[in-house]
Amino acid sequence: MFPTRNFHFFLLPVAALLLAPSLSTAQDAAPQRPQITGVSHVGYFVSDLPKTIAFWHDLLGFDEYTTLNKPGTDQIRIAFIKINDHQHIELFTDAPPSPPSMMSHYCFSVSNAEQMRTYLRSKGFDVKPGNGGTTRTGDYAFEIKDPDGTLVEFVESLPTGIEMQDAGKFLPPTRIADAIYHVGFLVGNLDKSLAFYEGVLGFTETWRGSSNGQQLSWVNLRVPEGKDYIELMLYDKTPSGFGGKNHVSLVVPDVEKAVAELEARPAYKTYLSYAKPLTVQAGKNGKRQVNLYDPDGTRVELMEAQTADGKPVPPSTAPPPAPAHE
């Protein structure tokens, strides 16, 4: 593009040297995303807290490790069910703001919450100074909304927080699983969700599946700096049962052994009073799994990490449904 004159060959390196510092400074000035290391927790609304705690404690074998009362009362607002030292379930006694969904929010662990706030502000998200801070459990967190209006929380665990203070505690041998595998939730527009999770947050797509082979049903996205993932549950018409779509998946080494253990527990008889018997099946992803439902119909999935035959299942090529909303 330049004329082949000798002085241009001398000027170009000089110009490049002059420009390099300014380009580097501009790149360094751009806010960087901190690490997103995994799923911290998921929150659900419950209509009968003692009954739901019995589901998590008596049947699934997890411990309630702390509670938070409604301000100025002795009534429990949130009960915390510990899955492991870095993951838990939050049970809210508040009335759900938008029935029939019982999901309150989902939360990701980050290496630096303040850095995440700065990064999201640089991407145009409305993260005001008053949004977030030290939580009542002693960690640092804030919330935004995803493209579907669902609350997404980011938390940085602090040494003085309850979670780190209780490390190694409330981990009974009765736990049917020791980790949250993934969290699934409904999204109405796949393109907008991918722009958010992949484009902004840096998640990586790992698999997509179809329940009928004709239309895409879900897309799996792994957190950038960890193994946990989320499952985008797609729809074109509002589902009648949100609890079956919005779900949490717990990983188990052998789902049949897990089911046998659950069926042997006394609480299983109570479970059968409001839910169907447990049925092990291979999912579209080739992994054995079983679905349980809490007293409000929210699905808890037990799933093996490997496929039943040890071979990977190719992702679906079915088209996604038309966007359910704009």
Q: Give every strand in the sheet of 218-222, ordered side by side.
A: 204-209, 218-222, 229-234, 180-187, 247-251, 299-303, 288-293, 281-282
Q: What pLDDT is attached to residue 241?
A: 59
Separation of CA 293 from chain center: 18
Q: What is the pLDDT at residue 237?
A: 76
Residue 4 confidence (pLDDT): 36
Whether domain 36-303 has CATH 3.10.180.10: the reply is: yes
Phi, psi of 76 (to 5 degrees): -70, 130
**What pLDDT is attached to residue 325?**
59
Q: Are 270 and 255 in contact (CB under 8 A)?
A: no
Q: Report pLDDT for 16.
A: 42
CB atoms inside a 10 Å sphere around CB 43:
20
Write out the two tokens for 140: 């640092």
Burial class from Cβ neighbours inside 10 Å (0-12, 13-18, 19+) for residue 149 reads exposed
Domain residue extents for the chain: 36-303
Which residues of the chain carry a pLDDT beneath 70? 1-28, 98-100, 129-130, 239-243, 325-326
